[in-house]
Homo-oligomer: A and B are copies of this chain.
Amino acid sequence: MSRSRPVTAGSARPTNLAVSMREAFLALNDLVLVRLAERGHGDVRAAHSAVFQYLDETGTTVSVLAERAQITKQAMAELVLYLEARGYVSREPDPHDRRAKLVRPTELGREVVAIAQALVPQLEDRITAVLGADRVEALRADLDTIREIATS
């Protein structure tokens, strides 16, 4: 993380806008990863957000997690296995379905979620302090508009 990045992206410069978006996104992303690493969670990688984000205190199956994160069960299973091996989540048999295993965050996993979530308002505040709340709102709206334009 926070490795030297390609200076640019997008298939042969599709607007500097795209480049700016990518860079801003990567910068924000790295910030979370760096913070986690500082707190001793250096083995958490970007892809694992797909797990942490959709975890549930009540326990969730890999299949459901995969569906929520829009990746295949296999991909999600691998991420979960990795996190289980490092103590971030546990997998216990579902008492109501003997095929299923429920994925739950451990104490360590909850810590990761807490750190990441604490960073959100902190970042928002820093950004808002510089840009102003209305511009942040406009930014959010415009990004969504652009996505719609490009998707249609």
Contact = CB atoms under 8 A, between A and B. Distances in A.
Interface of A: 4-18, 20-25, 27-33, 36, 44, 46, 48-50, 52-53, 68-71, 112-113, 116-117, 119-120, 123-124, 126-127, 130-131, 135-136, 138-140, 142-147, 149-151
Nearest to A51: B12
A5 to B, nearest CB: 6
7 contacts: A10-B25, A12-B112, A13-B116, A18-B25, A21-B21, A27-B151, A127-B146
Nearest to A33: B11
A119 B10 CA distance: 12
Given A18-B29, A21-B25, A139-B143, 19 more contacts: A7-B68, A7-B70, A8-B69, A10-B25, A11-B29, A11-B49, A11-B116, A12-B113, A12-B116, A13-B116, A14-B28, A14-B32, A15-B124, A21-B28, A27-B147, A123-B150, A130-B145, A131-B145, A139-B142
Chain multiplicity (copies): 2
Q: Is the interface of A mostly helix, strand, loop or mixed?
A: helix
Most buried by B among A32, A119, A143: A143
Nearest to A9: B49
A53 to B, nearest CB: 5
B28 A146 contact: yes
Contacts of A11: 29, 32-33, 36, 44, 46, 48-49, 52, 116
